[in-house]
Amino acid sequence: MHRFLRHPVRLVPFGFLAAILLGTGALMLPAATNAHRFTPFSTAFFTATSAVSVTGLSVVDTPTYWNGFGLVMITVLTQVGGFGILSGATLVVLVVARQLGLRNRLLVQAETAEFGIGDVRGLLLRIAGTMAACELVMTAVLAGRFWLGYDYPPGRALWYGFFHAVQGFNNGGFALFSDSLVGFARDPWICLPIAFGTIVGGLGFPALFEASREWRTPGRWAIATKLTVWGSAVLLVVGFVGLLAAEWPDPRTIGGYDVAGKVLATFTQSAVIRTGGFAILDTAGLDEESVPLLVALMFIGGGSASTAGGIKVATFFLLGFAIWAELRGEPDVIVGRRRVSSASLRQALTVALLSVALVVGGTVLMLLLTEGMAYHRALFEVTSAFSTTGLSSGVASTVAEPGQIVLTVLMYVGRVGPLTLGSAIALNTRRRLYRYPEEQPIVG
């Protein structure tokens, strides 16, 4: 067992599990609820998993069930999940001991998907600095709006601003309003900071750092950065146009808004749908035409080594380039005048197929365990849980305990990552001293 846990990648799932269990214990305490009663283990475990996995799904009404202590715990768990339990532990070591051993550097490398070992120290500081700066800016704007625009007392405005800033940047999705942020759908001072934080947090630190450093020469970006940045922009536009077209006349969502309100609401929902989990539109009232689009966007998710979930933008577009190359009869997959390695393509295909299998299996289980649930509702909830998006179609709080267990497992696996979880179990790469004869089976 000791040898099994020695490898950094294998420690990633156990690190998040430890944070979830600690959070569960804290949320079970009577001091965490408004009713001052013990919270059932299933509810506390679901909430802690949702917070650490930065999902945002909840089986209780967050603002009325949890008191100040409970909400602070959710905020802390979300921050820990967003930063990465292993990255946070190593940063503490850096601050206290001013020394980083090779093992600790490898731990952070495993969590953040950063390939360089020597620059992990600087990476940690840049991650912490970027998160702090973005969250402070978001807190200032949101708190100012709650204070000046909605007459909240200064202390309450600051708390509401900070809570939603942490949730927004870390793609958490918990809100201090029972309808999430639907009541602020036409307020740019609320929507735009949330959209900004969600987009930045969902890009991923490697892509964000390289894009900010080489913003004048995007042609020199690494393939992963190009796929993530440009792919995210494409998905943002596709989601915005698709939602705007589908929901334009619907009085249950944006039908009663003016043009500016419709544009703002659908843009913000498109920005947060892949990763953030905030409801800007009333998801229970969405047209059926919008559901497949939202499910697809949630499944794709955000950038690698980010606070987002899903199969990741780079993975999706990498497979798209592979399909395009095959249709054209190209011997190699080329992205931006760079040839993609076969190992990267196998990894992308593995992540995508494992994710499809998990979503399909989870949907079947939800239908079997939850009586009367519609297929599209089950698919929506399962995809939201696996992609750690946290957007609910309104049925998460009504799911029975067996269904909650399914969603909890999906949130955990979605945060850890299918490939990381598989690597934690069977990590060692096998090397053969021989190769079998090649054969080309008939495909299709």
Q: Quick one: what percent of the chain has pLDDT higher than 70? A: 86
Domain-located, residue 389: yes
Domain-located, residue 163: yes
The span from the CA of 142 to the CA of 145, in Å, is 5
**Full domain range(s) for residue 26:** 2-425
pLDDT, tens digit, 9 for 90 and up, residues 357-412: 999 999 999 999 888 888 888 999 999 999 999 888 877 778 888 999 999 999 99
Bridge partners (DSSP) of residue 335 are 338
**Count of structural domains within the chain:** 1
Domain-located, residue 440: no
Domain-located, residue 71: yes
Please tell me the pTM assigned to this model: 0.88
The span from the CA of 441 to the CA of 444, in Å, is 10
Average pLDDT, the chain: 84
For residue 232, give both structure tokens.
């995210």
Mean pLDDT of 253-260: 91
Mean pLDDT of 280-302: 87
Domain-located, residue 431: no
Domain-located, residue 435: no
pLDDT, tens digit, 9 for 90 and up, residues 68-79: 999 999 999 999
Q: Which helix (H) or strand (E) holds 9?
A: helix 8-27
Cβ neighbour number for residue 256 with a 10 Å cutoff: 10
Specify the residue for token string 């998993």. 49
For residue 402, give both structure tokens.
């067996």
Domain-located, residue 191: yes
Compute φ and ψ for 335, nearest 5 degrees.
-130, 115
Residues 149, 155, 158, 159: is their CA dihedral positive or negative? Answer: negative
Rounded to the nearest angstrom, the gap between the alpha carbon of residue 82 and the centroid of all alpha carbons in its chain is 9
Domain-located, residue 246: yes
Can you give the C-alpha Rg of the chain in angstroms? 22
Q: What does the pLDDT read at residue 266?
A: 95
pLDDT, tens digit, 9 for 90 and up, residues 176-197: 999 999 999 999 999 999 999 9
For residue 444, give both structure tokens.
């299709």
